[in-house]
């Protein structure tokens, strides 16, 4: 009686989707995040197309006829100082994006570095960084920014100056968030295995822990961009920004100082206000969506 050898079943290797594919799937499920991304992409498209097609010199005073309502020639109208509000909006959106990305990126970078150093190496380094954050966190950041901006000569205030004022205390939030996550991650089994395998501390940080924290870092970055844009807008509305530059807050401050509504120039403050609402609203939706992605405890049930 002959025996027939049975071959083992062939197992098909299933490829794990990339992080980008997983994010796109999550984007389809999270309507708020998708809506925020869509609004933000529309604002970016408006700014980029405007930078290529609009005469940006008209964003500054005495460049066009003053106090003209919206028309085919001036879609957003002109203001009291003879600025084309379409050109001013394009430049203002670009400047707002610069402040947000610069201040948000720098604040997040500092926070990530300090958070990793504090949590991973611990001891007196952790104690020092944690104590500094605990002392500075209760301080009202906007008040400090107002005091600093108000003490500067208005002729010396530039877009870069505004960004530096905003980023001054922007690192504390990301530092505490990343620190808490690294404290959890470094106790995981895969980190212990990496240490036993002889992987260096930098190798563990960059190859093992950092990739797992990308959703948290992305959420922290968007939150810092939101805070930076809001702070720059707040300072500009108070007249503490670079007054010659057409920041959205500066346009609203100038409209308020000239009594735009009382004089019937309704388009002057309304248009930049709508733009700022769209910017902050889209960033808020994206931030909430990324928080849900990073934190399973607040993620929606599918």
Residue extents of the structural domains in the chain = 48-297
Collapsed DSSP state (helix, strand, coil) of residue 84: strand
Task: Report whether pLDDT(69) > 90.
Answer: yes
Write down the pTM of the prediction. 0.84
Task: Report whether pLDDT(173) > 50.
Answer: yes
Higher-pLDDT residue of 108 and 197 is 108
Task: Report whether pLDDT(60) > 60.
Answer: yes
CATH domain 48-297 topology: MetI-like fold (1.10.3720)
Token pair in block for residue 160: 């870069």
**DSSP track, 200-231:** -HHHIIIIIIGGGGHHHHHHHHHHHHHHHHHH
For 54-58, 94-98, 202-206, which range has the lowest pLDDT when averaged over its residues? 202-206
State the chain's mean pLDDT as an integer. 85
Tens digits of residue pLDDT in 188-229 = 888 778 777 777 877 888 888 888 888 888 888 999 999 999
Task: Report whether pLDDT(294) > 90.
Answer: no
C-alpha distances in Å from residue 41, one per residue of 30, 184, 217, 245, 284: 17, 35, 21, 24, 14
Percent of the chain exceeding pLDDT 70 equals 88
Task: Report whether pLDDT(3) > 60.
Answer: no
Tens digits of residue pLDDT in 13-46 = 556 666 666 666 766 777 888 899 999 999 999 9
Q: Which residues, 6+ apart, have CB-to-CB distance to 183 below 8 Å?
A: 119
Task: Report whether pLDDT(138) > 70.
Answer: yes
Neighbours of 102 (CB within 10 A): 19
Task: Report whether pLDDT(10) > 70.
Answer: no
Token pair in block for residue 33: 């995040």
For 4-18, 78-92, 96-110, which range has the lowest pLDDT when averaged over its residues? 4-18
88 class by beta-carbon count within 10 Å (0-12 exposed, 13-18 middle, 19+ buried): buried
């Amino acid at each position: 009686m002959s025996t027939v050898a049975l071959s083992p079943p062939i197992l098909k290797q299933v490829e794990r989707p990339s992080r980008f594919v997983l994010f796109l799937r999550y984007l389809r499920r999270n309507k708020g995040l998708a809506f925020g991304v869509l609004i933000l992409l529309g604002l970016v498209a408006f700014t980029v197309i405007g930078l290529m097609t609009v005469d940006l010199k008209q964003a500054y005073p005495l460049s066009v006829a003053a106090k003209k309502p919206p028309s085919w020639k001036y879609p957003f109208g002109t203001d009291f100082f003879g600025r084309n509000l379409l050109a001013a909006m394009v430049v203002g959106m670009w400047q707002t994006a610069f402040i947000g990305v610069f201040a948000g990126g720098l604040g997040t970078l500092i926070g990530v570095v300090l958070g990793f150093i504090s949590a991973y190496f611990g001891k007196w380094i952790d104690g020092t960084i944690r104590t500094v954050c605990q002392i500075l966190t209760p301080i009202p950041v906007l008040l400090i920014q107002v005091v600093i901006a108000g003490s500067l000569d208005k002729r010396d205030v530039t877009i870069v100056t505004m960004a530096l004022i905003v980023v001054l205390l922007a690192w504390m939030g990301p530092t505490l968030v990343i620190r808490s996550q690294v404290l959890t991650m470094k106790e995981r089994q895969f980190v212990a295995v990496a240490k036993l395998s002889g992987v260096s501390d930098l190798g563990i940080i960059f190859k093992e822990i950092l990739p797992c924290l990308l959703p948290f870092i992305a959420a922290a970055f968007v939150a810092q961009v939101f805070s930076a844009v809001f702070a720059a807008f707040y300072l500009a509305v108070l007249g503490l920004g670079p007054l010659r530059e057409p920041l959205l807050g500066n346009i609203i401050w100038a409209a308020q100082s000239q009594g735009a509504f009382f004089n019937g120039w309704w388009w002057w403050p309304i248009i930049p206000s709508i733009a700022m609402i769209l910017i902050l609203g889209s960033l808020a939706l994206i931030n909430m969506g990324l928080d849900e992605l990073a934190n399973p405890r607040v993620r929606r049930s599918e």
